[in-house]
Chains A and B, each alone.
Chain A
Amino acid sequence: MQTGTIIRAGFLAIILSILVMVSWEIHLRNQGNKIYYDDNEAMWAHYRGMVYEPSDKSTVFLGSSRIKFDLDIPTWQNITGNHVIQLANVGSDPVPYLMDLADDKKFKGTLVVDVTEGLFFSDFSPEDVATDKKINYFKKITPTQRFSFRVNHVLESQFVFLDQDRYSINSMMDELPLAHRPGIKPEPDFPDDFGVVDFNRQSYMTPRFVADTSLQNRVKAIWVCLGRVMAAPTSSAGKLDSFFNVIKVATDKIKSRGGHVLFLRTPSSGPMLENEKKGYPRAKYWDRLLAVTGCPGIYYADYPTLSNFVCPEWSHLKPEDAKIYTKELIKILQKDKGWTFSKKSNSI
């Protein structure tokens, strides 16, 4: 190799790479894109590691996407002075995560479990805990993964293009207009503006999504396609009995260590709500859940202040409503459920 060739090429490569990436970053920012975070295993594990904080200083939230959208974490933390540890996961059954916390003898905290019936009451197998990617990542996390997460956080906080869900090469290639093969069900193509994620793991709709009914209709169509609207429970009576028993054992374990568990049903609307009511009659599912476990619960429809929200795409609250919902939820927790927080909630 000629002396100097690779050195000159190296410098050219560095300059070109910086130029291209800076141009790409400026272009994305000019389009109105903001800093969002990848809600991946590393981030979940980061928060999972915080569940050992004293129970009067923090509250752990489990569930599916609804609690990620509906709980406005800054509002909660400002009012209560209490740290939110958001462990809910989009489109997932929270039961394996409940089992994981129940089996963790060090966990003695306060837990709120969001119940989206179609996911919470789906078939559960103990293997789901052992095979869950996020739980396994947390259990096997290495020092290098912890350090990489911290460096990644610093970089993700600076650059818009480091948003894997939107601007990674694979995400961009997925947008190519290619014909679908017969027999291949395409992945649901949620609008980018539907669920962006902050570093506290809160999901929210962008102002563009809130203003644009065509984007909302696109999500509604996905719910219909996914069968969430039409879904009916498949569990037999026997299966349901053993399911409730699994939940009872898990909540009893947490309570026996001094922990607290509260179940929460967040709002939904439109055809989604109608089908949830039909598919999962409250007496058979929600009421029985509270009766079997002996845990308190908050069902949004029981409280006038929580029951008037309209979800733009039938399933999740818009950011402004999430703030109101969170304030009202805190009031109910204090007045109705006897919760106390370190910070006086005068600001409510």
Chain B
Amino acid sequence: MLFNSYTFIVFFIIVLILHNLPFSWKTKKINLLIASYVFYAAWNPPFILLLWLSTVVDFFVGRALYAQENKHKKKLLLVISLIGNLGMLCFFKYGGFLLENFTFLVNALGFNFHPAKPNIILPAGISFYTFTTLCYTIDMYKKKSKPVESMLNFSLFVTFFPHLVAGPIVRPPQLVPQFESPRKANTQQLFQGLFLLTLGLFMKVFLADGMLSGPANNSFAATTALQSIDAWMGVLAFSGQIFFDFAGYSLCAIGAALCLGFVLPNNFLYPYAAVGFTDFWRRWHITLSSWLRDYLYIPLGGNRAGKYRTYFNLMITMLLGGLWHGAKWTFVAWGALHGLYLCIEKAVRDIRKSSGVKTLITAPERKVVMASFTPEINHPKNLKNFILALGTFFLVNVTWVFFRSTDFSSAWRMLHSMFINNPKNTAVLTSLEIYKVGIIIPLLVITHWLMRNTQALTVAGKMPWWLLGLVWSAMIILILLSQNASSAFIYFQF
């Protein structure tokens, strides 16, 4: 079920009513669990079986892992869980990709092997709920937290509909304790949740789909070299589209949960105001980057095993992070570029540190959510850092070319068009599309910069109520006037 669909509106009203009726807490949790399965089954009912399988296996394996003292048996249990979770992910998400590459390799070696193309449908949200259950079993293995006692609480932790399909990726300690005692949103929380839902839908429906998807799609669909302005506007449009799409989804998820009285972790903190890539990954898809940090980068050794090993670990983490987004080499290239940026940034910082040059580190500001691979660095809002943020945004745009392009030849063509202008090349964007991108993207970057150390609800709380009401109403009206047919969120395909 999509947040931006009529079905969700009807569904959510029913869920809200049920959650506020005087049922026992257990009944309310059962209602939420059933609602979550309905939410998921609304896409493709049979895939609910996978969700059940994953839930049941990880619940029992998790408990056994925690209780098991025998090291070998414990490792065996972990392997079973990893094979179960990652095996499912590999089959559904990477089956076709692996076969395609195997075929290419075998044919390159001179064998004539042409298997039929597998027709595998990707279950919605499999990458997200696999990571959710994986972190539980790994935590159990490491005894980081206690096993969830109740199957109902565990099922709800895995399946809770706001985060199920596209995150935020939650950890057991973030959500499970919230199921242990009765929760219901008070009026203030309900309105805050509705405000976040509206903001998320405004970002998705009006900005991502209504304003930016057109220019992005038109530019990336071109099969010939583009004029530089068309290439740049297409890439900038995609930068905005993917942010508004995914951050919009996360806000809808957080808002929907808040309306029910639950708190989900923040997933975006104005990433286009990031000063450098360490900062970027502290602000973009925070729950994924912190997952990768805790369950991949640190277990690989993090920065504890020397300079070169740190670079290696960063690259591996980002390459796998890229592959997590999709079974295509272009995603790996996207991850590789981010890995490279992080390595270069770390190298520069190390050199400056060793030569005694004052680094960008300054007096700490209020802490934001930690999610990067290296320790937190705070950047004051000054012109120098703004220019550095623009530089980061420029480099992030280069990475989006690989993320959005269907193949490498399209990506190279787009990069070539961006950096070498030829007026004889094709023009694909209308004047209106150029105006849309030219107005929205600078506003997006400026807004991110101004709000980089705060959050939407904090800013909303400081506004006079009538001004907030006007802004809120404008968002509702623009959503209604957008009238976009319910289009899927980009991150659903991941």
Interface set of A (CB-CB < 8 Å, partner B): 1-14, 16-17, 20-21, 38, 40-42, 142-145, 147-148, 151-152, 155, 161-162, 164, 167-170, 172-174, 176, 178-184, 186
Closest B residue to A5 using CB positions? B465
Interface set of B (CB-CB < 8 Å, partner A): 1-2, 5-10, 41-45, 187-188, 191-192, 194-195, 198, 206, 210, 214, 426-432, 434-435, 457-458, 460-461, 463, 465-466, 468-470, 472-473, 476-478, 480-486
Closest B residue to A164 using CB positions? B483
Task: Report yes or no: A7 in contact with B191, Cβ–Cβ below 8 A.
Answer: yes
Q: CA–CA, A20 to B478, complex, Å? A: 11
Task: Report yes or no: A176 in contact with B481, Cβ–Cβ below 8 A.
Answer: no
Distance to closest chain A CB from B22 (angstroms): 23
Distance to closest chain A CB from B354 (angstroms): 45
Which residues from chain A contact B470 at a C-beta distance below 8 Å?
12-13, 16
Q: CA–CA, A183 to B222, complex, Å? A: 14
Distance to closest chain B CB from A25 (angstroms): 11
Q: Which of A7, A145, A161, A172 contacts B188 (CB 8 A)?
A: A7
Task: Report yes or no: B2 in contact with A184, Cβ–Cβ below 8 A.
Answer: no
Q: Which of B5, B6, B41, B468 contacts A6 (CB 8 A)?
A: B468
Q: CA–CA, A246 to B72, complex, Å? A: 63
Task: Report yes or no: A169 in contact with B5, Cβ–Cβ below 8 A.
Answer: no
Q: Which of A11, A169, A186 contacts B430 (CB 8 A)?
A: A186
Task: Report yes or no: A176 in contact with B432, Cβ–Cβ below 8 A.
Answer: yes
Task: Report yes or no: A1 in contact with B458, Cβ–Cβ below 8 A.
Answer: yes
Distance to closest chain A CB from B41 (angstroms): 7
Distance to closest chain A CB from B8 (angstroms): 8
Task: Report yes or no: A12 in contact with B465, Cβ–Cβ below 8 A.
Answer: yes
Which residues from chain A contact B477 at a C-beta distance below 8 Å?
17, 20-21
Task: Report yes or no: B469 in contact with A180, Cβ–Cβ below 8 A.
Answer: no
Task: Report yes or no: A169 in contact with B482, Cβ–Cβ below 8 A.
Answer: yes
Known: A9-B195, A142-B44. 20 other contacts (CB 8 A): A12-B470, A16-B470, A21-B477, A143-B42, A144-B42, A145-B5, A147-B6, A147-B10, A155-B6, A161-B481, A168-B483, A169-B210, A170-B214, A173-B432, A176-B432, A178-B435, A179-B431, A181-B427, A182-B427, A183-B427
Distance to closest chain A CB from B477 (angstroms): 5
Which residues from chain A contact B8 at a C-beta distance below 8 Å?
144
Which residues from chain A contact B2 at a C-beta distance below 8 Å?
144
A142 touching B469 in the complex, CB below 8 Å, given contacts A6-B191, A7-B188, A162-B483: no
Closest A residue to B435 using CB positions? A178
Task: Report yes or no: A13 in contact with B473, Cβ–Cβ below 8 A.
Answer: yes
Closest B residue to A159 using CB positions? B480
Distance to closest chain B CB from A65 (angstroms): 21
The 9 lowest CB-CB distance pairs between A and B, nearest first, are: A1-B461, A12-B469, A13-B472, A144-B42, A151-B6, A9-B468, A16-B473, A9-B469, A168-B483
Task: Report yes or no: B191 in contact with A184, Cβ–Cβ below 8 A.
Answer: no
Distance to closest chain A CB from B212 (angstroms): 11
Q: Which of A9, A143, A180 contacts B465 (CB 8 A)?
A: A9
Distance to closest chain A CB from B449 (angstroms): 23
A7 touching B187 in the complex, CB below 8 Å, given contacts A12-B470, A176-B432: yes
Task: Report yes or no: B5 in contact with A148, Cβ–Cβ below 8 A.
Answer: yes
Which residues from chain A contact B458 at a C-beta distance below 8 Å?
1
Best-buried of B9, B426, B430 by chain A (most CB within 10 Å): B430
Task: Report yes or no: A6 in contact with B188, Cβ–Cβ below 8 A.
Answer: yes
The B interface, classified by DSSP as helix, strand, loop or mixed, is helix
A6 touching B195 in the complex, CB below 8 Å, given contacts A1-B457, A21-B477, A144-B2: yes
Distance to closest chain A CB from B391 (angstroms): 29
A178 touching B431 in the complex, CB below 8 Å, given contacts A1-B192, A143-B41: yes
Q: List 9 A-B contacts (CB under 8 A).
A: A1-B457, A5-B465, A6-B191, A9-B191, A12-B473, A13-B476, A151-B9, A161-B480, A168-B484
Task: Report yes or no: A10 in contact with B483, Cβ–Cβ below 8 A.
Answer: no
A184 touching B5 in the complex, CB below 8 Å, given contacts A6-B460, A7-B187, A168-B483: no
Q: CA–CA, A147 to B485, complex, Å? A: 13
Task: Report yes or no: A181 in contact with B430, Cβ–Cβ below 8 A.
Answer: yes
Best-buried of B191, B477, B486 by chain A (most CB within 10 Å): B191
Task: Report yes or no: A3 in contact with B194, Cβ–Cβ below 8 A.
Answer: no
Closest A residue to B464 using CB positions? A5
Which residues from chain B contact A1 at a C-beta distance below 8 Å?
188, 192, 457-458, 460-461
Best-buried of A12, A38, A142, A178 by chain B (most CB within 10 Å): A142
A17 touching B42 in the complex, CB below 8 Å, given contacts A144-B2, A162-B483: no
Task: Report yes or no: B1 in contact with A144, Cβ–Cβ below 8 A.
Answer: yes
Q: Which of B469, B484, B486 contacts A16 (CB 8 A)?
A: B469
Q: Which of A10, A11, A143, A145 contacts B486 (CB 8 A)?
A: A145
Distance to closest chain A CB from B217 (angstroms): 13
Which residues from chain B contact A170 at a C-beta distance below 8 Å?
210, 214, 482
Q: CA–CA, A20 to B469, complex, Å? A: 13
A10 touching B461 in the complex, CB below 8 Å, given contacts A179-B431, A180-B431, A184-B428: no
Which residues from chain B contact A172 at a C-beta distance below 8 Å?
481
Best-buried of A4, A152, A181 by chain B (most CB within 10 Å): A181
Distance to closest chain B CB from A146 (angstroms): 9
Q: CA–CA, A144 to B480, complex, Å? A: 20
Closest B residue to A186 using CB positions? B430
Q: CA–CA, A145 to B481, complex, Å? A: 20
Which residues from chain A contact B192 at a C-beta distance below 8 Å?
1, 6
Closest B residue to A171 using CB positions? B483
Distance to closest chain B CB from A105 (angstroms): 18
Q: CA–CA, A348 to B261, complex, Å? A: 65
Q: CA–CA, A38 to B188, complex, Å? A: 38
Q: CA–CA, A162 to B230, complex, Å? A: 32
Q: CA–CA, A61 to B470, complex, Å? A: 49
Which residues from chain B contact A167 at a C-beta distance below 8 Å?
481, 483
Distance to closest chain A CB from B359 (angstroms): 36
Q: CA–CA, A151 to B485, complex, Å? A: 13
Task: Report yes or no: B431 in contact with A9, Cβ–Cβ below 8 A.
Answer: no
Q: CA–CA, A146 to B324, complex, Å? A: 31
Best-buried of B195, B429, B477 by chain A (most CB within 10 Å): B477
Distance to closest chain A CB from B175 (angstroms): 23
Which residues from chain A contact B468 at a C-beta distance below 8 Å?
5-6, 9, 13
A184 touching B486 in the complex, CB below 8 Å, given contacts A1-B457, A8-B469, A168-B481: no
Task: Report yes or no: A184 in contact with B432, Cβ–Cβ below 8 A.
Answer: no
Closest B residue to A176 using CB positions? B432
Closest B residue to A3 using CB positions? B188
Task: Report yes or no: A6 in contact with B461, Cβ–Cβ below 8 A.
Answer: yes
Closest A residue to B39 using CB positions? A144
Which residues from chain A contact B206 at a C-beta distance below 8 Å?
169
Q: CA–CA, A152 to B9, complex, Å? A: 12
Which residues from chain B contact A10 at a C-beta distance below 8 Å?
191, 194-195, 469, 472
Task: Report yes or no: A20 in contact with B473, Cβ–Cβ below 8 A.
Answer: yes
Q: CA–CA, A145 to B465, complex, Å? A: 37
Q: CA–CA, A38 to B192, complex, Å? A: 34
Which residues from chain A contact B214 at a C-beta distance below 8 Å?
170
Which residues from chain A contact B435 at a C-beta distance below 8 Å?
178
A184 touching B427 in the complex, CB below 8 Å, given contacts A1-B458, A176-B432: yes
